[in-house]
Structure 1
Amino acid sequence: MDKALIGTDGHPDPELLIEQLLDEYGESVKKLAYTYVKDWALAEDVTQEVFLSVYHHLPRFRGESSYKTWIYKIAINKSKDAIKTRFLRPNKLLKKLKAYTDVYDLSAEARAMDAIGDVRLSQAVMRLPVKYREVIILYYYEELKLEEIQQLTKINLSTVKTRLRRAKAMLRELYEEGVTHG
C-alpha cells in the first residue's frame, strides 16, 4: 500500500484510498457495469454505487483478495441488482428498435466499446447471454485469471472453463455471421 495513503493513526486514510481506487479502477468498473446493464448512464450510476459501497465497507475489507477483485465483485453484484430492478427492463418493442438502430447507427456506446476493441466483436460480446458475456469480459477485457473469475462469480473452476469455451464458440459464430452479413 502506498505510504502516502497512511494516516497519522497508522491506518489507511479512507478518503485518500477511495480516491486512489477510483482513479485506478473507476473506468474499468464502468465498462464492466456496462457489459451487464447495456446503458452508459446506468453504468455510471452503478459505478457510483460501487464506490459508495467500497467507501462504506472499507473498514471491513480483510485483504483476502486484491482491491481489484473485491471491487469487481461489488460491481458485478450491483450490476446484477440493476438488471433485476423491474423498471429497468425495457419492453420487447424497445429492444427491437434498439437492435435495429444499433445495426445502422454507431452510437456513442458503440464508439466507446470501440476503444476496447473491434466494434463487431464488441457487439457480438454484448449479444451473448450474461453468464457467457461475464466470463469473456472478465477474462479478456479485465484480464483476470480463471481462479479470480471463480472467486468473483462463485462458480466452479470447471464451470468457468466450460463457459469460457462455449462463449468463445458462440462469439466465433456471431462474429462470422456479422462478417458474412455485415
Structure 2
Amino acid sequence: MKDQELIADILRGSRSSQEVLVRRHYKLVYSFLYRMAGDKELALDLTQEAFIKILNNLGKYKGSGEFRSWCLTIASNHAKDYFKSKAHQNNTHTYELHEYEAKTDKSVSSIFEKNEKRKEIKEALNVLPDFQREAILLKYYNDMKISEIARVTNATESTVKSRLKQGLGKLKLYLNRSEMDERNKNGS
C-alpha cells in the first residue's frame, strides 16, 4: 500500500494503517534525529513526539513532494524547537554519528581505525553550524536531493548548495588539520 493510500485510511480512522505508516518511516525519522541529537534516549523521545505531530497533521499533507521529506521537515522543526527550549538548555548533549555495526569479520586494528575515523567525523560535524550540519546529514546520511533538503529546511536550493559546499569545506579543513596534528604529535 502506498503512503497516500495509508494516509487516506488513517484520515478515515484506520489504526492499522497508522501503525504501518509509522513503522515504514520510523527508522528514517529516528536516524535523522539521532544524528541531530547524538543521544539515543533523546532521539527516541524526539522521534515519538515527531510522529505524534506527523499523525496529528496528516490532514495538512497535500501530497506534493515525497512524504518522507514532509516527515523529515516536521522532525527537523521539532528538533530545532527542542534545542531552543529550556528543557534542552538544562541538558548538555553532543552530536554523534550513528554507529554502524560491522557486517563482516574485521581485524581488530581495522575496527579501531574505523571507530577512530567515526570519532573524527563526529567531532568535525560538531564544529559546523547547525544549518550546515543539518544539510550534510540530510544529503549524505538520508540520501536526499537538493530540492528535498530545500523543502525540509525551508531554504532555497542555492542556499542548500552553499551550505553543503561550505560545510564540506570546513569538514575537510578540520579533518586535515586533525590528521596533521596527529602526525606532528607522533613525530611523523
Distance 1:167 1:64 in 2: 29
Corresponding residue for 1:12?
9
Map 1:11-160 → 2, pairs under 5 A: 11-13=8-10, 14-89=14-89, 113-115=98-100, 118-119=117-118, 120-160=120-160
For the aligned residue pairs, the C-alpha RMSD in angstroms reads: 2.8
Q: Please state whether the residue corresponding to 2:65 is helix, strand or coil.
A: coil
TM-score by length of 1: 0.76
Answer whether contact 2:34 2:98 (CA < 8 A) is retained: no
1:85 Cα offset (Å) = 0.7
Q: Could you tell me the percent identity over the aligned residues?
A: 26
Corresponding residue for 1:104?
none
Q: Summarize the Cα distance change of 1:181–1:66 in structure 2 as closer, same or farther, 3 Å threshold.
A: same
Q: Summarize the Cα distance change of 1:18–1:127 in structure 2 as closer, same or farther, 3 Å threshold.
A: farther
Q: Summarize the Cα distance change of 1:179–1:83 in structure 2 as closer, same or farther, 3 Å threshold.
A: same
For structure 2, the residue ranges without an aligned partner over 5 or more in a row are: 102-113, 183-188
Question: Looking at CA atoms only, which structure, 1 or 2, has the larger radius of gyration?
Answer: 2
Distance 1:174 1:68 in 2: 32
The amino acid of 1:84's aligned partner reads K
**C-alpha offsets along residues 123-178 of structure 1, whole Å, 9 cap, x if unaligned?**
32233110110110011110110011111111111111111100010110122233
TM-score by length of 2: 0.74
The amino acid of 1:36's aligned partner reads M
